[in-house]
């Protein structure tokens, strides 16, 4: 049996605010298989973004283990976690989070600075990633010169350029119009189907969730059963 | 990696052009002011720095305002370790009115210029000066200031030695080094003495200072002690010191002013450091989300810190470079206005090095807190930040 790509084992997360303990996630326990495309849904404040942050290694659980690609990331220190994220996680943010002073090509090249690739290799990879998202004609454009949909496609190219184990997307269509949103969902679907990328997506949008292979709902920090789509 | 990193930092610097431009302007003004104030300080010490270690000055031990008898000349010359001897009196003449101040001295014409090889005077002009009792030698800058040429008559009104004194310019000296004072006026001590014999006999045969040139290998302290011992318990005891120490005693009188200028020059740097730190803090605060994104992508905290530091350094060094380049021409322009106070007003290499160092320091110090803040930012908090 193939080991899971992501395995959350009794993960809980709470915050301390004003001396009070605020539970966000309670005893979350589930696996994500390699090549899956999971949509995490739930109302605001249900803890879905927190869960995504924990899986992506940008936040630490209060208890439990998070094993991604065989590594329990809850045990890693800050520096090791940064290295791990650079090698294993591709981020897609709701507001794209591109560097406004870098053009599309440079933005995509950015994560490759953390690899041992030389300039030519980095350039080749960034060009390939941008070609994959259909933006080979916008290489020199700065984020402010691109539409929202195009910026999100640059962000996706940046997320996939280092060939990570896992793509995490936080409301990737949340800031886009319907048409651009559909294009992004199609692109994510293609990356999952054709390139075999494992994707976890947090969304409010039922249409976006419909594009995923499976859906889980979070309600007050607790996870519902897995819904598998056809 | 460095190319993209550098481009990133450079474009961040240019992101808010108006803010960057204003900060840059502030940096240029501050570092320029620092350079000019430091130049004023070095101009203050120009006489000290130009002093020769081989020359001693003997003056009346009571005060410089008390003269020494001319008769001391031969007794000083007879001391061991002295190669040459000359003497001079501060004349303090006024040309037309007091605002045209310049230092004027009555000097022993045959011996004076041999002691001062840094005053370069053509041999024929020196001979003409010695031949003419009313002859005078003036510095090139002074001659230029008043449009004097060889052969011109220059009338001075005496302040210490009353009366009107007419001199004929017989020579114009140039400085051997950039630090040589070219604003002095010399005339024959014999001319002064002859007139005093007739008008104020009590002031004749009196010398302001003796100038002694040490023989090679002689120890200045030893010779000074010997000269002063020669006149101990006389009516006019001498105080002999190196030319540097003599010049330093004038600077010491204005030590508080020099210290104040020095403090102001450093305060200027501290102020711009605070301004620059504020600029960097604003920039870093606005970029919280970007730094958080970079951290999420796997950039280590020190990488983010380096980005802030690079941005700060680029701005500070650009300002520093412009200021360093502007300092010499500006100092040159100012020097014409300050010629009568500072005969030598030139930017020293060490001043420009200090300016560059100040720019580097400003860039580094201004980046410390914003860089630490950017390095410590929590990714989840940073991603929620609104620019």
DSSP code, position B96:
S
Give the pLDDT band of residue B218 (cuts 50, 70, 90): confident
Handedness of CA A98, A100, A105, A110 (dihedral sign): negative
Handedness of CA B341, B347, B349, B355 (dihedral sign): positive
Q: Do B380 and A53 touch (CB under 8 A)?
A: yes
Which percentage of chain B shows pLDDT scores above 70?
99
Which percentage of chain A shows pLDDT scores above 70?
99
The pLDDT assigned to B48 comes to: 79
Give yes or no for residue B65 having a pLDDT over 70.
yes
Q: Select the residue from A80, A82, A88, A91 to test the B interface by mutation, using most B Cβ atoms within 10 A.
A: A82
Give yes or no for residue B196 having a pLDDT over 90.
yes
Sorted by where each begins, the domain ranges of chain A are 35-53+78-217+224-228
Give yes or no for residue A1 having a pLDDT over 70.
no
The pLDDT assigned to B362 comes to: 97
CATH topology (fold) of A35-53+78-217+224-228: Rossmann fold (3.40.50)
The pLDDT assigned to A229 comes to: 67
Across the range B158-185, mean pLDDT stands at 92
Give yes or no for residue B246 having a pLDDT over 80.
yes
Q: Which of B12, B296, B299 sits opposite A58 (nearest CB)?
A: B296
Handedness of CA B94, B95, B97, B101 (dihedral sign): negative
Least confident of B51-55, B82-86, B171-175: B51-55
d(CA B298, CA A83): 6
d(CA B295, CA A79): 10
Contacts of A53 in chain B (CB under 8 A): 379-380
Q: Do A87 and B298 touch (CB under 8 A)?
A: yes
Q: Do A102 and B293 touch (CB under 8 A)?
A: no
Across the range A35-41, mean pLDDT stands at 93
Q: Select the residue from B5, B6, B290, B297 to test the A interface by mutation, using most A Cβ atoms within 10 A.
A: B297
Which long-range contacts does B242-249 make (Cβ < 8 Å, 24+ apart)? B242/B51, B242/B53, B242/B55, B242/B56, B242/B57, B243/B51, B243/B52, B243/B53, B243/B55, B243/B56, B243/B57, B243/B211, B244/B48, B244/B51, B244/B53, B246/B51, B246/B57, B246/B59, B246/B209, B247/B47, B247/B48, B247/B51, B248/B48
Q: Do B379 and A79 touch (CB under 8 A)?
A: no
Q: Do B383 and A97 touch (CB under 8 A)?
A: yes
Residues of B with CB under 8 A from a CB of A: 1, 3-5, 7-8, 11-12, 15, 289-290, 293-301, 379-380, 383
Nearest C-alpha neighbor of B89 from the set B205, B9, B261, B3: B205
Across all residues in chain B, what is the average pLDDT? 92
Across the range A171-199, mean pLDDT stands at 91
Q: Do B300 and A106 touch (CB under 8 A)?
A: no
Sorted by where each begins, the domain ranges of chain B are 2-46+255-384, 62-236
The pLDDT assigned to A2 comes to: 75
Q: Which of B3, B298, B380 sits opposite A111 (nearest CB)?
A: B298
Q: With the CA atoms of B294, B296, B299 and B302 taken in that order, what torsion angle do they form, in degrees rounded to the nearest 10?
A: 90
pTM (2 decimals)?
A: 0.77
Give yes or no for residue B101 having a pLDDT over 90.
no
Nearest C-alpha neighbor of B142 from the set B160, B159, B154: B154
């Amino acid at each position: 049996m193939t080991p899971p790509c992501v395995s959350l084992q009794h993960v809980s997360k709470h915050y301390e605010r004003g001396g009070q303990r605020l539970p966000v996630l309670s005893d979350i326990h589930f696996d994500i298989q390699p090549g899956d495309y999971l949509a995490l849904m739930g109302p605001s404040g249900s803890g879905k973004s927190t869960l995504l942050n924990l899986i992506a290694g940008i936040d630490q659980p209060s208890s439990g283990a998070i094993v991604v690609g065989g590594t329990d990331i809850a045990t890693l220190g800050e520096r090791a976690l940064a290295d791990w994220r650079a090698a294993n996680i591709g981020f897609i943010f709701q507001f794209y989070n591109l560097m406004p002073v870098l053009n599309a090509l440079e933005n995509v090249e950015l994560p490759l600075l953390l690899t041992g690739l030389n300039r030519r290799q980095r350039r080749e990879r960034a060009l390939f990633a941008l070609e994959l998202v259909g933006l080979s004609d916008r290489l020199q454009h700065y984020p402010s010169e691109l539409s929202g949909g195009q910026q999100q496609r640059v962000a996706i190219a940046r997320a996939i350029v280092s060939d990570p184990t896992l793509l995490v997307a936080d409301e990737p269509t949340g800031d886009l119009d319907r048409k651009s949103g559909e294009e992004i969902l199609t692109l994510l679907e293609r990356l999952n189907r054709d390139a075999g990328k494992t994707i976890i997506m947090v969304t409010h949008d039922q249409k976006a969730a419909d594009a995923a292979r499976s859906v889980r709902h979070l309600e007050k920090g607790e996870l519902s059963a897995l819904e598998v789509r056809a | 990696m460095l190319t993209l990193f550098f481009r990133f930092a450079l474009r961040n610097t240019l992101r808010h052009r108006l803010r960057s431009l204003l900060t840059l302007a502030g940096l240029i003004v501050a570092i320029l002011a620092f350079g000019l104030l430091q130049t004023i300080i070095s101009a203050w010490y120009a006489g000290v720095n130009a002093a020769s270690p081989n020359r001693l000055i003997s003056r009346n031990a009571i005060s410089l305002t008390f003269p020494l008898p001319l008769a001391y000349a031969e007794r000083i010359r007879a001391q061991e370790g002295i190669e040459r001897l000359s003497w001079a009196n501060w004349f303090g003449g006024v040309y037309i009115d007091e605002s045209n101040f310049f230092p004027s001295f009555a000097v022993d014409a045959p011996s004076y210029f041999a002691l001062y090889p840094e005053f370069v005077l053509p041999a024929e002009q020196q001979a003409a000066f010695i031949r003419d009792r009313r002859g005078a030698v003036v510095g090139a800058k002074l001659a230029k200031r008043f449009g004097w040429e060889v052969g011109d008559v220059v009338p001075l009104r005496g302040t210490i030695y009353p009366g009107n004194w007419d001199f004929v310019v017989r020579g114009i000296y140039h400085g051997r080094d950039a630090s040589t004072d070219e604003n002095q006026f010399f005339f024959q001590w014999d001319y002064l003495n002859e007139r005093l014999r007739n008008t104020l006999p009590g002031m004749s045969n009196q010398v302001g200072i003796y100038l002694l040139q040490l023989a090679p290998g002689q120890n200045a302290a030893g010779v000074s002690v010997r000269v002063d011992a020669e006149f101990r318990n006389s009516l006019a005891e001498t105080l002999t010191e190196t030319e540097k120490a003599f010049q330093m005693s004038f600077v010491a009188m204005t030590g508080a002013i020099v210290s104040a200028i020095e403090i102001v020059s450093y305060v200027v740097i501290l102020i711009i450091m605070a301004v620059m730190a504020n600029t960097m803090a604003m920039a870093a605060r606005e970029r919280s989300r970007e730094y958080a994104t970079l951290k999420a992508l796997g950039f280590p905290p020190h990488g983010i810190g380096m980005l802030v530091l690079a941005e700060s350094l680029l701005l500070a060094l650009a300002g520093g470079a412009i200021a360093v380049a502007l300092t010499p021409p500006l100092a040159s322009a100012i020097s014409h206005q300050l010629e009568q106070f500072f005969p030598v007003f030139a930017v020293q290499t060490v001043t420009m090095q200090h300016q560059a160092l100040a720019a580097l320091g400003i860039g580094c110090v201004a980046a410390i807190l914003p860089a630490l803040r950017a390095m410590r930012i929590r990714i989840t908090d940073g991603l929620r930040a609104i620019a």
